Structure 1
């Protein structure tokens, strides 16, 4: 192996999403090839993924998927998607077909929120000296659903299962007390009532607007003015989630991504609400202001530096870590 190949191995990545499976091969910072495959049934979709991978050489691979998914290597259902609302995908084995393409290379496997959390973590740390680097970060994606990935002690978190912080309860605003039931609640904790996903996801918002006389079309959210009360609802729910992460995990940075976060009014509203909720209790989350006051640090809760590519480059980060672990041996 050449010195350049050892320093910059070929890394493949597969990001499994409910809408599409994205595949990539990179060497260093150079994208060799990438492809997006619409998500159909498991057999058809994974066949196309494997065809893409078969056309490339690679030294390691990172794989992420929507969930819930079994990440425990000792489990008989390791690599399989568990009970999911995505039709036809419950109990689907995502991992085995992909690994069978090249069973001699190291791999990393995680969720579609832990992977982008790792990508954000490494990007934020890249320019910093070791003494200033983060050891923890949360990545929250807000779209059709709400999910959170966690990096703690510089590694993605998993335990009983993977984090499902999108389903934690929130303190509703007075105007949200009579919100309609979450339409996907039958398969979620608390039936989605007064949870982050059951309040702030595009599905929940569209359902609420329909109950108020709207069409129920998620695309209609793009036409809502910034002053619409729906964005206050979103900001409150996300702030509750952020405060939960700060108080329980002591996370050093929270990254908010996903389609809902394209509405620029949401991020500053989340920050303001978090400041109100914390009530000065976490001094490390505050900065001094002119006049001797304090305010929430703006670098604590930020938008994604990767944007729509956080997920796919998260798989690259997983693959790189797997390669580094292999080459240490």
Structure 2
């Protein structure tokens, strides 16, 4: 008998990464589709999963999303700046085609969970995971549970102190120069006219970038004091960045709190490009076991 698999959807603002895997969180097949309109993208997603016998699906979606099962709009993407996806019933559409247990959370929560069960936070009590890429988002976990209340955290839109040499006005349509507005990938490109991955490691923009990312780590440390803070996303693929972030973080803390050694405390994802997929598979497994 063919083993039934778990499904994973990492729904990002730029692309959807879909995968199937085992209960041991082994990825068997993964594909990606551009994030265009719900009609186009979801048709590709549904066709992909119809090839497999599934027992549950985990979804980590760009947001904001409605996370409360008792809400009439549970499973919807809500006030996203991606207009075609506003008020989209993501879980409802999947349920039409796959009447299975479906776990539903944010894309950054899913990535945080992947690192919690199998990555840099494995064996620890708590973690916060940031993605610094097309946008900035974060998920927080305490003792295996996501930290959330009336909604999920939106730490990517925190207000940070401006770098004295940074005159960029910010690009966030809601807040201008919030963390996402001045530190996400598009902010780098809008300042320099060049994508981050094409800039040299000694470009002055990286000092500015580290200044903002270190503030995110500083604010997180003082508010939540997690066991580890993980920075993923395309911007953090610049391997020289972490040393700069550590240096800026030390200046900000100024000896006020004693953290674990920074090489173990502020880190990049151990799962590299897989935290979201592994997290969605793990959440799907839990949804199946809980039914």
Measured after TM superposition, the shift of residue 310 of structure 1 is 1.7
Partner residue in 2 for 1:241: 216
Does 2:191 match 1:203? no
Structure 1: runs of 5+ lacking an equivalent: 210-215, 287-295
2:69 match: secondary structure = coil
Question: Runs ≥4 in structure 1, deviation > 4 angstroms?
Answer: none
280, 284, 287: which is aligned to 1:319? 284
Structure 2: runs of 5+ lacking an equivalent: none
Q: Quick one: structure 1 residues 278 and 95, their matched pair in 2 at CA, closer, same or farther if it must change by over 3 Å?
A: same
Partner residue in 2 for 1:212: none
CA distance in 1, matches of 2:98, 2:180: 37
2:130 match: secondary structure = strand
CA displacement, residues 159-186 of structure 1 (integer Å, 9 cap, x when unaligned):
121111111111222112xx23223x33
CA distance in 1, matches of 2:32, 2:238: 25
Tell me the matched-pair count: 290
CA displacement, residues 13-37 of structure 1 (integer Å, 9 cap, x when unaligned):
1111122222211122443333222
CA displacement, residues 104-147 of structure 1 (integer Å, 9 cap, x when unaligned):
x3221100100000000111479x7xxxx311111111111111
Does 2:131 match 1:141? yes
1:113 match: secondary structure = helix
Measured after TM superposition, the shift of residue 56 of structure 1 is 1.3
Does 2:46 match 1:50? yes
Q: TM-score scaled by structure 2?
A: 0.92
2:137 match: secondary structure = strand
- Tell me if the contact between 1:137 and 1:251 (Cα under 8 Å) persists in the aligned partners: yes
Measured after TM superposition, the shift of residue 325 of structure 1 is 2.5
Q: CA RMSD in A?
A: 2.1
Partner residue in 2 for 1:289: none
- Tell me if the contact between 1:235 and 1:273 (Cα under 8 Å) persists in the aligned partners: yes
- Tell me if the contact between 2:75 and 2:89 (Cα under 8 Å) persists in the aligned partners: yes
CA distance in 2, matches of 1:181, 1:76: 38
